[in-house]
């Protein structure tokens, strides 16, 4: 079964559109000229326009100082008309991403990267959950793919995908293995996975020889090969062996953006409850 994230994302966005009865505003900060980041920001703006969320996009030069970026974050924190704040990653190397995330108001942190929100997720009492991992959970739930008791292997230990993904899978009663660049005998591990999630950023890194027959394959990777978009998973070699698989594009990517829209609604609810 092809897990059609584009289709499920459309359902989520329609649900969000029906829920919005107040003016919500998402502020997106884009630093530098990274083409992939520009595409992500454009797609987020399109989604905001569709569901009825006002979007503010701040395009800043790559040369901006960390202090100047933080000044903008403080300003957006203090503005009552701004519901959510998103700083598009990655940031230039001279800016400390951790410090920037730490200074976003936790109640406006729609990406779920502020340490307070990360800690709450770790303790099993999350408010905001990072959009890509939560989007994957939403996708699995839509297709009624069981997680309880399954072996889940996650390739990649990033703060935005790998680590929160592992926590969500643990909370859903999966047995979780996290692999990374220092993992030995990777194929021996991936072949035991009932659910394999790859967020390593290497084109067609996972092939049919590395997966278990009947596995569910979730491809977070966005790569280019010969000018065409592709994921971490070699779709053509794995599609017949897997029970379920996400395509690239049209799989996890749309779910990430749809989940961001959900988090904007949650931000409004949390702020009104204060």
Planar angle of CA 128, 144, 254, nearest 5 degrees? 50
Do both 144 and 206 map to the same domain? yes
Do both 137 and 211 map to the same domain? yes
Token pair in block for residue 267: 């931000």
For residue 6, indicate whether it is catalytic: no
Query: Can you give the residue range of the structural domain that contains 231?
Result: 131-253
Give the C-alpha separation, 34 to 87, whole Å: 13
pLDDT recorded at residue 274: 86
Residue at 31 is within a domain: yes
Do both 135 and 66 map to the same domain? no
User: Does position 162 have pLDDT exceeding 90, yes or no?
Assistant: yes
pTM of the model: 0.96
pLDDT recorded at residue 96: 97
User: Does position 176 have pLDDT exceeding 90, yes or no?
Assistant: yes
Listed in sequence order, the residues at least 6 apart from 228 whose beta carbon sits closer than 8 Å to its beta carbon are none
Of 13, 108, 109, 111, the active-site residue reads: 111
Give the C-alpha separation, 111 to 180, whole Å: 23
Do both 170 and 68 map to the same domain? no
For residue range 4-45, list pLDDT tens digits in order.
999 999 999 999 999 898 899 999 999 999 888 898 899 999
Give the C-alpha separation, 198 to 189, whole Å: 13
Chain Cα centroid distance, residue 172: 18
Residue at 234 is within a domain: yes
For residue 274, indicate whether it is catalytic: no
Give the C-alpha separation, 126 to 223, whole Å: 31
Query: What CATH number does residue 151 fall under?
Result: 3.40.50.720
Task: Tell me the three state secondary structure of residue 160.
Answer: coil
Closest CA to 246 of 129, 145, 148: 145
Of 88, 108, 109, 150, the active-site residue reads: 88
Do both 153 and 241 map to the same domain? yes
Strands 223-225 and 228-230, how do they pair?
Answer: antiparallel
Q: Please provide residue 81's backbone torsions phi and psi, each rounded to the nearest 5 degrees.
A: -80, -10
CB 24 within 8 A of CB 84: yes
Report, as an integer, the average pLDDT of 251-265: 97
Do both 150 and 244 map to the same domain? yes
pLDDT recorded at residue 21: 82
The number of folded domains in the chain is: 2
Query: What CATH number does residue 75 fall under?
Result: 3.40.50.10860
Do both 187 and 85 map to the same domain? no
Do both 34 and 145 map to the same domain? no
**Most distant pair of Cα atoms in the chain: their distance:** 53
Do both 161 and 101 map to the same domain? no
pLDDT recorded at residue 226: 87
Do both 46 and 152 map to the same domain? no
Other beta carbons within 10 angstroms of residue 7's beta carbon come to 13
3-class DSSP string for 12-23 = HHHHHHHHCCCC
Of 13, 44, 108, 163, the active-site residue reads: 44
Strands 195-198 and 175-179, how do they pair?
Answer: unpaired
Task: Tell me the three state secondary structure of residue 181.
Answer: coil
CB 95 within 8 A of CB 72: no
Do both 246 and 135 map to the same domain? yes
Residue at 8 is within a domain: no
Task: Tell me the three state secondary structure of residue 131.
Answer: helix
Do both 248 and 167 map to the same domain? yes
What ranges make up the beta strands (E) of 25-150?
Answer: 25-31, 54-60, 84-87
Residue at 98 is within a domain: yes
Q: In what order do the strands lie in the sheet with 54-60?
A: 54-60, 25-31, 84-87
For residue range 205-233, list pLDDT tens digits in order.
999 999 999 999 999 999 988 889 899 99
For residue 88, indicate whether it is catalytic: yes
Is cis: bond before 90, omega within 30 of 0? Answer: yes
pLDDT recorded at residue 22: 85
């Amino acid at each position: 079964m092809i897990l059609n994230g584009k289709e499920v994302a459309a359902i989520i966005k329609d649900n969000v559109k029906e829920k919005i009865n107040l003016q919500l505003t998402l502020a997106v900060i884009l630093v530098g000229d990274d083409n992939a980041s520009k595409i992500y920001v454009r797609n987020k703006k399109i989604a905001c326009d569709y569901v009825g969320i006002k979007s503010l996009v701040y395009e800043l030069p790559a040369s901006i100082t960390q202090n100047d970026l933080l000044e903008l974050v403080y300003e957006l924190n203090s503005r009552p008309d701004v519901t959510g704040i998103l700083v598009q990653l990655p940031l230039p190397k001279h800016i400390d991403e951790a410090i920037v995330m730490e200074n976003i108001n936790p109640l406006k942190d729609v990406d779920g990267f502020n340490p307070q929100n990360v800690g709450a997720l770790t303790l099993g009492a999350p408010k905001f959950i990072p959009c890509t991992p939560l989007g994957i959970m939403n996708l699995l739930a839509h297709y009624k793919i069981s997680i309880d008791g399954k072996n889940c292997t996650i390739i990649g230990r990033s703060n935005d995908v790998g680590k929160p993904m592992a926590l969500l899978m643990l909370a859903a009663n999966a047995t979780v293995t996290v692999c990374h660049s220092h993992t030995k005998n990777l194929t021996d591990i991936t072949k035991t996975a009932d659910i394999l999630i790859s967020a390593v950023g290497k084109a067609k890194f996972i092939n049919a020889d590395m997966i278990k027959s009947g596995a569910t394959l979730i491809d977070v990777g966005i790569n280019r090969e010969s000018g065409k978009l592709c994921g971490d998973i070699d779709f053509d070699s794995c599609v017949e062996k897997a029970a379920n698989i996400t395509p690239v594009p049209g799989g996890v990517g749309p779910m990430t953006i749809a989940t961001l829209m959900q988090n904007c609604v949650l931000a409004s609810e949390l702020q009104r409850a204060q």
